[in-house]
A and B are shown apart, each in its own frame.
Chain A
Amino acid sequence: MMVGGKGLGGRVLRLYVPLAVFLVGMLFPFYWMLITSIKPNRELYNARIMPLIVYQPTLKHYVDLLHETNFLTWTYNTMLVAVVTTVISLVLGTMMAYPLARMRFPGTAVVAIGVAATYLVPQPLLFIPMSDIINRLELGNTLKAVMLTYPTLLIPFSAWLLMGYFKSVPRELEESARIDGASRLQAMTRIVLPLCTPGLLSAGIFAFTLAQNEFLYALIFLTKSDVRTVPVGAITELIRGDVFYWGQLMAAALLGSVPVAIIYSFFVEYYVAGLTAGSVKG
Chain B
Amino acid sequence: MLIIVTMFSVIFTFGDFQLIYALTHGGPANATHVFSTWSFDIGMSAGQLGMGAAVALAILPVLAVLIVGLTFYLRRE
Q: Mark B33-74, 1 if CB is under 8 A from A, else 0.
A: 001100110011000010011001101100100011011101
Q: Is the CB of A125 within 8 A of B74?
A: no
A124-B15 contact given A132-B49, A215-B21, A220-B44, CB 8 Å threshold: yes
Q: Mark A210-226, 1 if CB is under 8 A from B, else 0.
A: 00000110011000000
A125-B59 contact given A116-B71, A215-B18, A235-B22, CB 8 Å threshold: yes
User: Chain B contacts of A113 at CB under 8 A?
Assistant: 71-72, 75
Q: Mark A98-121, 1 if CB is under 8 A from B, else 0.
A: 000000000001001100110011
Q: Is the CB of A128 within 8 A of B52?
A: yes
Q: Is the CB of B35 within 8 A of A124?
A: yes
Alpha-carbon distance between A113 and B12 when the two chains are bound, in angstroms? 18
Q: Is the CB of B71 within 8 A of A117?
A: yes
Please classify the interface of chain A as helix (H, G, I), strand (E, B), loop, or mixed, using the class held by over half of its residues.
Answer: helix
Alpha-carbon distance between A120 and B44 when the two chains are bound, in angstroms? 23
User: Chain B contacts of A116 at CB under 8 A?
Assistant: 70-71, 74-75
The answer, yes or no, to whether A231 is at the interface (CB within 8 Å) is yes
Q: Is the CB of A123 within 8 A of B17?
A: yes
Q: Is the CB of B67 within 8 A of A216?
A: no
Instruction: Please name the residue on chain A nearest to B35 by beta carbon.
Output: A124
User: Chain A contacts of B43 at CB under 8 A?
Assistant: 127-128, 131
Known: A120-B11, A120-B71. 6 other contacts (CB 8 A): A116-B71, A120-B70, A123-B17, A124-B56, A127-B43, A216-B40
